[in-house]
Amino acid sequence: MRMYDLITKTRDGIELSREEIQFIISGYTAGSIPDYQMAAWCMAIYFKGLSPTATAALTMAMVESGETLTWPELDGVVVDKHSTGGVGDKTTLVLLPWVAATGCKIAKMSGRGLGHTGGTLDKLDAIDGFESALDRGRFIEQVQAIDLAVAGQTGALVPADQKLYALRDVTATVDSIPLIASSIMSKKIAAGAEGIVLDVKVGKGAFMQELPLAKQLAETMVDIGKHTQRQTSALITNMDQPLGHAVGNALEVKEAIQTLKGEGPEDLSNLCLALGAEMLLKARRVSSLEAGRKLLEDTMQTGQPLHKLKQMIAHQGGSPEVVDNPDLLPKAPVVRDVKAVQAAYVKEVNARSVGLIAMQLGAGRQTIDDTIDLTAGIEIFAKVGRQLQAGDIIARLHGQTEQDVDEAVMALKDAISWSPTPTAEPQLILGRISS
Ligand code: URA
Q: What CATH number does the domain containing 374 carry?
A: 3.90.1170.30
Question: How far apart are the C-alpha atoms of 321 and 128, rounded to whole Å?
Answer: 10
Q: How far apart are the first and last CA of the chain?
A: 35
Q: In angstroms, what is the C-alpha Rg of the chain? A: 22
Q: Is residue 435 part of a domain?
A: no
Q: What CATH number does the domain containing 20 carry?
A: 1.20.970.10
Give the β-pairing of 344-349 and 106-110. unpaired
Q: Which residues constitute the domain of residue 298?
A: 79-325
Supply the residues annotated as catalytic: 82, 161, 168, 183, 187
Predicted local distance difference test score (pLDDT) of residue 114: 65
Helix (H) or strand (E) holding 54: helix 52-63
Pair 216, 359 in one domain: no
Pair 320, 334 in one domain: no
Pair 245, 372 in one domain: no
Which residue among 174, 186, 224 is best mutated to probe the pocket of ligand 1, counting the most ligand atoms within 8 A of its Cβ? 174
Predicted local distance difference test score (pLDDT) of residue 260: 97
- Residues in the chain with pLDDT values less than 70: 114-115, 368
Predicted local distance difference test score (pLDDT) of residue 78: 86
Q: Which of 300, 323, 302, 299 is nearest to 311 (CA)?
A: 323
Q: Is residue 155 part of a domain?
A: yes
pTM of the model: 0.94
Pair 45, 146 in one domain: no
Instruction: Identify the domain boundary among 274, 297, 325.
Output: 325
Task: Report the separation in Å between the CA atom of 180 and the middle of ligand 1, taken as the mean of its atom positions.
Answer: 5
Predicted local distance difference test score (pLDDT) of residue 435: 82
Per DSSP, 424 falls in state: P
Q: Is residue 232 part of a domain?
A: yes
CA-183 nearest atom, ligand 1: 4
List residues near ligand 1 (CB under 6 A). Answer: 165, 174, 179-180, 183-184
Pair 140, 236 in one domain: yes
Instruction: Identify the domain boundary among 298, 325, 352.
Output: 325
Pair 258, 348 in one domain: no
Per DSSP, 334 falls in state: E
How many structural domains does the chain have?
A: 3
Pair 302, 358 in one domain: no
Pair 240, 119 in one domain: yes
Question: How far apart are the C-alpha atoms of 234 and 328, rounded to whole Å?
Answer: 36
Pair 213, 93 in one domain: yes
Question: Measuring from atom 1 of ligand 1, which residue has the nearest CA?
Answer: 184
Question: What strands lie across the sheet with 429-434, from one edge to the other?
Answer: 79-83, 195-202, 231-238, 429-434
How distant, in Å, are the alpha carbons of 247, 271, 294, 380, 385 from that of 427? 20, 11, 22, 18, 11
Q: Is residue 64 part of a domain?
A: no
Question: With contact defined as beta carbons under 8 Å apart, do 404 and 361 qualify?
Answer: yes
Which residue among 58, 153, 165, 196 is best mutated to probe the pocket of ligand 1, counting the most ligand atoms within 8 A of its Cβ? 165
Q: What CATH number does the domain containing 156 carry?
A: 3.40.1030.10
Pair 289, 338 in one domain: no
Give the β-pairing of 377-380 and 429-434. unpaired
